[in-house]
């Protein structure tokens, strides 16, 4: 934990350390911690924080014409500084394909997810006719829970007019994300967006289009693999979840996290770097900043805002 000038609060999340400055700004350190099934795994993944931070910074810059976002500066490879917003208590999950949680729900026999009806006869990874929004509650601890549009509005979690605006922003951001992914030979399969507000202005907050918040398929060969019923080649954190499930862990009570060997840790790190390079088209440059220097760098960047 760092000590920053004018610090008024500190929050340690699953993978991020968040410092509030003068109740006006947030300094967010994206650690190398990794979580799956809402459990922080026992070993960090080298350079994961840098990957997430730099992908998110680029994606926020590329979508700022859709709505304003919280980001003001990225003074460290794994740290960002931006506006402190009041957050909406829901996460806007948007899906273009029947994959992951949606597929597991569908495979169980259910034909509705978060109040959205799902057509019969779909196969895993098929495209939906149009993207669907399947929101979740935003839990600080434990599991986020599926919730429907109607439940959000009727319970007063988000006012109807504001929620409809969040839906419009979500679909516009997803459309932009899919276009950016397509330019890199990828399909943006699903992702989540978080929003906040200052006064009457809605802001896009947190990270977007990273491997922790999104799932990508390789476009080349997608249709052929679908036709043959083969697994899709993907870049996302899903491979971590799959490894855990193969080793008997899904975050359920009484289950033990499997041992993470050096080989497993290094393989996960390599996959994160692969996704960075594929998504951005840039060569990943490993950067390390001594923790002793981080506070001074952040303080200087905040003072310059």
Q: What is the CATH number of the domain that holds 144?
A: 3.30.470.20
pLDDT(34) > 80? yes
Contact between residue 128 and residue 111 where contact means Cβ atoms under 8 Å apart: no
Q: What is the dihedral of CA 26, 32, 37, 39, to 10 degrees?
A: -90
pLDDT in tens, 77-135: 999 999 999 999 999 999 999 999 999 999 999 999 999 999 999 999 999 999 999 99
The span from the CA of 282 to the CA of 299, in Å, is 29
For range 238-246, the mean pLDDT: 87
Q: Which residues pair with 16 in a beta bridge?
A: 30
Residue 79 lies in a domain: no
Per-range mean pLDDT, top range of 24-33, 208-217, 241-250: 24-33
pLDDT number for residue 143? 62
Residue 212's pLDDT is 85
256 lies in a domain?
no
Q: What is the pLDDT of residue 141?
A: 56
Residue 155 covered by a domain: yes
68 is a domain residue: no
Task: Indicate if the pLDDT at residue 140 is higher than 90.
Answer: no
Q: Considering its fold, how many domains does the chain have in total?
A: 1
Q: How confident is the model at residue 139 (pLDDT cuts 50, 70, 90)?
A: low
pLDDT digits (tens, 9 = 90+) for 263-292: 999 999 998 998 899 999 999 999 999 988
Residue 189 covered by a domain = yes
Q: Does some domain include residue 193?
A: yes
Please choose, from the candidates 116, 201, 118, the residue with its C-alpha nearest in 3D space to the C-alpha of residue 152.
116
User: Is the residue at 208 inside a domain?
Assistant: yes
Adjacent-strand bridge partners of 216: 188, 235
């Amino acid at each position: 934990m760092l000590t920053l000038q004018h610090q008024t609060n500190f929050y340690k999340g699953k993978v991020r350390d968040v410092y509030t400055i003068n109740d006006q700004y947030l300094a967010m350190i994206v650690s190398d911690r990794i979580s799956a099934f809402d459990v922080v795994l026992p070993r960090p993944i080298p350079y994961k924080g840098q990957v997430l931070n730099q992908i998110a910074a680029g994606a926020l810059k590329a979508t700022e014409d859709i709505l304003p976002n919280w980001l003001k500066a990225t003074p460290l490879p794994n740290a960002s500084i931006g506006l402190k917003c009041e957050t909406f208590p829901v996460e806007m999950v948007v899906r273009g394909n029947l994959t992951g949680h949606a597929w597991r729900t569908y495979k169980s026999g259910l034909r509705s997810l978060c109040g959205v009806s799902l057509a019969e006869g779909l196969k895993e990874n098929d495209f939906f006719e149009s993207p669907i929004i399947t929101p979740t509650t935003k839990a600080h601890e434990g599991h986020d829970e599926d919730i429907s549009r109607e439940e959000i509005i009727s319970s007063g979690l988000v006012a109807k007019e504001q929620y409809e605006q969040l839906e419009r922003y979500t679909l516009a951001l997803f459309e932009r994300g899919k276009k950016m992914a397509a330019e890199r030979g990828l399909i943006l399969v699903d992702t989540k967006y978080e929003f906040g507000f200052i006064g009457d202005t809605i802001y896009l907050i947190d990270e977007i289009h990273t491997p922790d918040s999104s799932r990508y398929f390789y476009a080349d060969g997608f249709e052929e693999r679908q036709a043959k019923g083969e697994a899709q080649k993907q870049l996302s954190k899903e491979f971590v979840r799959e490894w855990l499930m193969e080793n008997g862990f899904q975050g359920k009570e009484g289950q033990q996290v499997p041992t993470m060997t050096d080989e497993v840790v290094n393989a996960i790190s390599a996959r994160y770097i692969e996704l960075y390079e594929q998504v951005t088209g840039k060569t990943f440059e490993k950067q390390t900043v001594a923790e002793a220097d981080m506070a001074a760098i952040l303080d200087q960047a905040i003072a310059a805002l």
